[in-house]
Structure 1
Amino acid sequence: NASGLRCAHINAISCYTNKLLFESVVRQLEGVELAPANNYSYDRKLEYAKDFLAALQHLNPAGSYVIVVQYAERLRAMAHNLLPLFLQLPEATGLNVSVVLLSSLPFEKFYIKTGLPPIVKLFVPEYTRNEMGRILMNDYASHIACLAEQQGNSSTNDKHWLSALTEDFHCNYVNLFLGTFWKVCRDVKELRLVAAECFLPYCEPIRDGTIPATDAINLWRHITKTLRIALSTMYMRLGTQHSAGRPAKDVTAAQYIELPYYAKYLLIAAYLASNNATKEDKRLFVKNHGKQRKRLQAVNARAKVVEKMTTKLGPKAFNIDRLLAIFYAILDEKVGLTCNLMAQISTLVHLKLLAYASVDGGAGMLDGSVTRLKCTVGLDFIMYVGRMGSVARSKLQQPGVKCLGVQEQHIWHTDLIELCYLTIVLQMIERSIVTVYGEFCIAQYVG
């Protein structure tokens, strides 16, 4: 600002709409700060490109401006005219403005049908080990803050041992950490994440008083098993909470695993497909499915085989068509069937959340008629994943939903697991989140 240069730093992940992107750029270039005085909002409403260009015209024409867009690859999923607009801002506004796109993808991946103007490409070389060590050592303050926060949540508030964790101690830990992970991973984000996770168990013997902070050899022996487990689960986001070999429950595993957005819905759909009869799909997932006749006869027939319920026999196999039909029924948006969506199924199988039940072992995945799958997780895991995917039982205490659940329990002679799962489905139907596309898929599948 002292040299007359104004800079706007934009994160394309947080600015996921045109309105957020345009307002953030103009606000930073104008020097407007979000404060209680302006109610943490911008007084202008910029939703379209013409409004954005008109707002830039009010800037000082003698000034110089720089717009830095981080995670620029996210712009490809936004409006088609957005990327050409940013690359031609100097011509469109007449200002001395430069746009810097920061991305891990090459510019050839930014192809659009209308074409893009030529740009200046700057390739950043990989970090050396010394540079990576300096980057990780900059996280010293955040690592100590995490230790202090964890100590504050514990029963003992003795924090005198934190004074022994000096910057030299942290430097030794970083060198030890890079000696294990440098040949396997060069990604800064992954290394910073795993280094923060492993630093907590590295300092546990110092907090307990069993190993002094100056005994690097015994600290190395103590952390070896944790580093080995973290090395084997580098990109799986499983954490190091069970590094001591303790068995992990489904609830805790669901809290520490991170699945993509659509993979969560695929996993919920897989659970519903494994624990629900095929002939009940139309009644459960389609709004106008018609009246169900001969209910009393169905009750009597099911009462004779109550010992052989689905949940007691274990999860049943289902094909890809049924999985996708239920997926589109519970998803509150219209999504195309792409290769990325099908790859999420392979990811769930790789994580042992789904298992192949057919002899082809997934060879017919593209066909969809051969491969059969099973869901291997329980109801508790699905409930936590559903809570992260906004499919939780948030209205269980409402009288209408509870009555529906009790009614289903009386009619179908279900146990507690089936009751909870049916309540989820009934809640989704109650909230009318079944899309037309989902109804079409269910109707196509059921015939």
Structure 2
Amino acid sequence: MTVEEVTEKLQEEIVGRQKQIELLANLFGEKHEMSLPSLFIYGHTGSGKSFVTSKILEELQSNVVTVNCVECYCQKVLYEQLLQKVSTLTVAHGVHMDHTKCDNMNDFVKHLTASVKEQKIEDETLYIILDKAEKLRDMEAHILPAFLRLQEFTELNICVIFLTEIIWEKFRSNTGMCEPYTVSFPDYTKEEIFDILCLDCPPEYSKEFYASYVSLFLSVFFYVCRDLNEIRHLATLNFPKFEEPIKKGEATVNDTRKLWKNIEPHLKRALQTVYLREVSSSQWEKIQQENIAGQEVLVPSLHSRCYLELPFYSKYLLIASYLASYNPAKSDRRFFSKRCDKIKGSIKKKNERKSNHLLGPKIFTMDRLLAIFYSIVEGRVASSANLFMQISSLVTLHLLTQVSSDDPLELPKYKCLVSLDTIKSISRTVNFEILRYLYDFL
């Protein structure tokens, strides 16, 4: 097939990627034409980068080698996987080939050149696709620039395609490198997602009926989820509840209002499982069946939606900062002294005008934070630079904020930014009853 025929065919089959298909097909060209040295394709997960690229190259019947960089934990594995796949391009399936050992880029270039010439494909373009290319940044600094100039090093018609989720500016190093041709895959619009979801229409229903379901579904989920894979999965997972009244004989395909009333509360509960962070598909289906049977079942782990995954001591540091922000300094001795169990009952709030939580977080010093931390943490903890690094990390995550001071010699001052629900959920993970130590809850 010619480039024009491939472009026309794929533009009809693939939704929302007409411009990218036309651009890539013209860049690839015919098998015997000279190609670009490198091509950088970026876009979010589920934007069609890998699918569109592989589909075009498949239709053009090009020589393609694909490697996922996540699987290549070192450069040796990356080189050997590429050489193994190149050596089997023109070999019949099932035929065993000798494993080529390769430790550095110099040997890789030599073995790659020899392998391409041995298979007599040096007159055709060889496409090397490096998926999850951002992992190359974790390898030695020379690897990425070398792949960008692989066509120059081998003196062959080789195009290296980088597929990644981040922009090219994040790849640049201080040493300078050849600039690849970049192609962007933007997120799908609501109309494009609608057209893609309509492709999953079950054969027993009309396209108009399934389109009405997709329209209702997107009105609920589009503003909280833009990932095509997740939203497509959730649409398929929740459709049985939409068709339930039809199967029971309680409604017809034209009773849109009745179908919507049946599925509305179900979709609200399903919003809690977006991205499947809290329940798996099988768990959600089980919950759905139990709800149909009349048993009201709560989605597990909903009480911990404010839960943050933090290191052990960071959790205690955040708890200590919350206590320092919302407790008066005069109450620290009563709460955190060795005799705290005896005197907690004697704390009385006289003439209190307002709750500390209504007034908002107060500023506290580093000394007070560490004093509370050492009082509440389990076991003995040695003071080290690691604790100060964790405090800096909490500031970076915007869980704490550092208050500037005019005097550079003063100790740093902080303010806690998390809510009461968040700190309660974090406290539960370390079995710390924070309400017992809050002045407002005595």
Could you tell me the TM-score, scaled by structure 1's length? Answer: 0.49
Could you tell me the TM-score, scaled by structure 2's length? Answer: 0.49
Between Structure 1 and Structure 2, whose CA radius of gyration is higher? 2
Structure with more relative contact order (C-alpha pairs < 8 Å, separation 6 or more): 2
